[in-house]
Structure 1
Amino acid sequence: MSYLFPTYARWDIEVKKARGVYIYDTNGKEYLDFVSGIAVCNLGHQPEQVKTALQKQLDQVWHVSNLFHIPGQEELAKKLVEHSTGDAVFFANSGAEANEAAIKLARKHTGKHKIITFYQSFHGRTYATMSATGQKKIQEGFGPLAPTFDYLPYNDRNAVKSLNDSDIAAIMIEVIQGEGGVVPAKPEFLQAVEQTCQKLDALLIVDEVQTGIGRTGKAFGYEHYGISPDIITLAKGLGSGFPIGAMIGKGKLIASFSAGSHGSTFGGNPLAVASAKATLDEIFHSAFLQKVREKGNWFKALLKNLLKEEPLVKEVRGKGLMLGIELVREGAPVLAAMRKEGLLALTAGPNVIRLLPPLTVTYDELKKAAEIISQALHTVAASSAAVK
């Protein structure tokens, strides 16, 4: 009997330890971890610089609440602002909380109500962020959704340009849909989104919870597209596994989040801030990000070449070290075959294999992973043919 709600379809793996790019189960089996805690452990498991920063902070102060000045928050916020289009930061505990803050700020600042999002998007599982998410499977069974969220087809430039509603407070978008299938935005589509926001005097919110903190080879994914978001939301890779989220906003928005307008007991906790500062000290270096882009391009090219004859593979896509392999069938059997050979990965929707290795992964480890993926696809394809 378990004392936990069965909200997760857990794998039959119990992790005993994790280090770098590898996870080890209680039976002593080693796995290449291309899940990274779902794009969280961008520096791998137990990065030394983050561990050192946390140990130092543990000897100083753990928690005091946001009634006090916390110097580390200012230092972390400064680093985020210096690498983004924003001017001020609100700290939360998760991506969903960061997106909740963004929704509240957009409505309060504009005095308007509608938020436009996109089909197959994912913005969280709280009540408002579930309502913002353009996936029925996330919303079913919970009754009426929060009002005034409307959805458009992703990558449909004309649908965006046709918007003409004076009550639109913001358009909220992922520059690469993660849970929706690792689908990168087309540049002309994102440009249309930005232009429409300007036309309607609405805010542009970019959800960087999965694409941020170096995952795509830039500090933030939107940098690939030359757009200037009014609000950016973060979490996942920000704290190397320590829970922290953040919302970054432009200076024009600061007055709309005055004292008492929003808050969080644990947001910007000194331990979380210490972890995030140490993480960004490593990732927000141009040389580090350049290596991520180079490894990502190399890995994608390798996968495309290696899998071009595989009958189950439809497309390989993505940016940096956020890649997806779209299949012509459900991906679960392929993931199971990969786990058997010592490689962990996720699906993104039913038929996309999502690859999110630590950004510190080596070329040899990428090559090993590609070979396991190829073998797993071959095994599943052969098994399917035998059944027929």
Structure 2
Amino acid sequence: MTAACLMTTYQPLALSFTRGLGTRLWDQQGREYLDAVAGVAVTNVGHSHPRLVTAISEQAGLLLHTSNLYSIDWQQRLAQRLTQLSGLDRAFFNNSGAEANETALKLARLHGWKKAIEEPLVVVMENAFHGRTLGTMAASDGPSVRLGFQRLPGDFLKVGFGDLAALEAITQQFGPRIAAVLLEPIQGESGVLPAPPGYLKALREHCTRHGWLMMLDEIQTGIGRTGAWFAFQHEGIVPDVMTLAKGLGNGVPIGACLARASVAQLFTPGSHGSTFGGNPLACRVGCTVLDIIEEQGLLQNAAQQGTHLLARLRVELREHPQVLAIRGQGLMIGIELARPYRDLALRAAHEHGLLINVTRGKIIRLLPPLTLDAKEVEMIVRAITRLVD
């Protein structure tokens, strides 16, 4: 139920939490839950991490905001860290994933303008999700996202995710007008659908050959979620543009768009901006998140525990008639069921003390903090096995 004073854009479960620590949350009655959602892939280093508590408290007592009229030391530090980790050259900070994707789309427009394309097009994927602004909705797929929002920006071409033949077909038809491709390495909101092996590498080669920007939306897959800093690193490529948010701030709002130098320089003073973007608090938190992941070996833990969780689920559910597929990478796992299960997330919470996300009514998404341990893996496996029976 949504409070009468709130707009009805959400249908929240009848659960409210008062505190969290690590992988656990506690509700108003004091009941403990294992959090396998992590705020939809946000709290990657867990709830109330003491390093983050200290960093936030100290920075709040020093300086929260100055605006980008002045140099911001923590912003420069975070940009340097992210460019070193990614192989890209420059960063722009804003407040959310949708804003990061809008930044990428503006770069695509400018890239097309520089190439003298009068009406540039961006290739996007079927079943994609890139945000809730008018521009990112137009780049997304699905009637429920678009319902009631006609006359969206029309400069997008949709192709099947992983379909190289379809990509070649639109290249033949629209090639001179195409400026960029935008996609998720793993489609999260559509049910954890990884790109087929070799697809990102082939797409990288295709973009280079045709002078298109390869733009990766790593808002959900980035910052260690798949067992690498960024999902593209599993394929041994580097995009031209990448967007981040979610896990970068561990709950403090921050988004980022990274780009190669030749692309980033398309922006000039006044061509883009963000009042709150890159403020001292958010960027100090971002730097602290990166420190924690490095120092605690959370990339390796996400890869190890994710592999273990995926394998255990496949063993326990291999003959279950209601389970169609189990897929994912690192600690980003989707379990596709044969039919929708009403109130599945609420049942998981009430009966098993497990917080899960259910997308499209029949796909269980598991996105636990990267600190998950082997004992907690077994807890999730037991709960999911009982839940789908």
Using structure 2 for the length normalisation, give the TM-score: 0.95
Counterparts of 1:49 and 1:331 in 2: how far apart (Å)? 39
Counterparts of 1:333 and 1:245 in 2: how far apart (Å)? 32
Report if the CA contact (8 A) 2:45-2:289 is conserved.
Answer: yes
- Find the counterpart in structure 1 of residue 139 from structure 2: 132
Alignment of 1:233-272 (within 5 A): 233-272=243-282
Counterparts of 2:297 and 2:349 in 1: how far apart (Å)? 32
Alignment deviations for residues 65-93 of structure 1 (CA, whole Å, 9 cap, x no partner): 00000010110000000011310000010
Q: 224-233 or 176-185, which moves further after superposition?
A: 224-233
Report if the CA contact (8 A) 1:212-1:220 is conserved.
Answer: yes
Report if the CA contact (8 A) 1:92-1:246 is conserved.
Answer: yes
AA aligned to 2:188 is G
Alignment deviations for residues 298-334 of structure 1 (CA, whole Å, 9 cap, x no partner): 1100111111122211111100000000110114443
Q: Is residue 176 from structure 1 mapped to residue 176 from structure 2 by the alignment?
A: no
Q: 166-175 or 283-292, which moves further after superposition?
A: 283-292
Q: Is residue 359 from structure 1 mapped to residue 350 from structure 2 by the alignment?
A: no
Q: Is residue 310 from structure 1 mapped to residue 310 from structure 2 by the alignment?
A: no
Match of 1:350 among 352, 358, 361: 361
Alignment of 1:1-388 (within 5 A): 2-111=4-113, 112=117, 113-162=120-169, 163-164=171-172, 165-284=175-294, 287-340=297-350, 341-378=352-389
Q: Which consecutive residues of structure 1, in runs of 5 or more, have no partner in the other structure?
A: 379-388
Report if the CA contact (8 A) 1:283-1:289 is conserved.
Answer: yes
Question: Cα distance 1:87–1:286, how it changes in 2: closer, same or farther (>3 A)?
Answer: farther
Q: Aligned to 1:187, what secondary structure does the other structure show?
A: coil
Cα deviation for residue 197 of structure 1 reads 1.2
AA aligned to 1:137 is S
AA aligned to 1:80 is L
Report if the CA contact (8 A) 1:116-1:151 is conserved.
Answer: yes
Alignment deviations for residues 266-322 of structure 1 (CA, whole Å, 9 cap, x no partner): 000111111111001122469331121011101100111111122211111100000
Cα deviation for residue 348 of structure 1 reads 2.8
Question: Cα distance 1:326–1:167, how it changes in 2: closer, same or farther (>3 A)?
Answer: same
Q: Aligned to 1:347, what secondary structure does the other structure show?
A: strand
AA aligned to 1:161 is E
Alignment deviations for residues 340-375 of structure 1 (CA, whole Å, 9 cap, x no partner): 221011123232100000001111111111101101
Q: Aligned to 2:297, what secondary structure does the other structure show?
A: helix
AA aligned to 2:134 is Y
Alignment deviations for residues 134-158 of structure 1 (CA, whole Å, 9 cap, x no partner): 2221111112111211111111121
Q: Aligned to 2:388, what secondary structure does the other structure show?
A: helix
AA aligned to 1:173 is L
Cα deviation for residue 258 of structure 1 reads 1.3
Q: Which consecutive residues of structure 2, in runs of 5 or more, have no partner in the other structure?
A: none
Counterparts of 1:294 and 1:37 in 2: how far apart (Å)? 22
Q: 316-325 or 187-196, which moves further after superposition?
A: 187-196
Counterparts of 1:169 and 1:286 in 2: how far apart (Å)? 40
AA aligned to 1:28 is G
Question: Cα distance 1:234–1:284, how it changes in 2: closer, same or farther (>3 A)?
Answer: farther
Percent identity over paired residues: 41
AA aligned to 1:136 is P
Number of paired residues? 378
Alignment deviations for residues 174-215 of structure 1 (CA, whole Å, 9 cap, x no partner): 000000110000123222322221232110000000000000
Q: Aligned to 1:83, what secondary structure does the other structure show?
A: helix
Counterparts of 1:119 and 1:284 in 2: how far apart (Å)? 35
Q: 1-10 or 232-241, which moves further after superposition?
A: 1-10
- Find the counterpart in structure 2 of residue 385 from structure 1: none
Report if the CA contact (8 A) 2:107-2:264 is conserved.
Answer: no
Counterparts of 2:341 and 2:103 in 1: how far apart (Å)? 34
Q: Aligned to 1:24, what secondary structure does the other structure show?
A: strand
Alignment deviations for residues 88-122 of structure 1 (CA, whole Å, 9 cap, x no partner): 00001000000000000111123142111011100
Runs of 4+ that moved beyond 3 A: 284-287, 331-334
Q: Aligned to 1:314, what secondary structure does the other structure show?
A: strand
Report if the CA contact (8 A) 1:331-1:352 is conserved.
Answer: no
Q: 286-295 or 118-127, which moves further after superposition?
A: 286-295
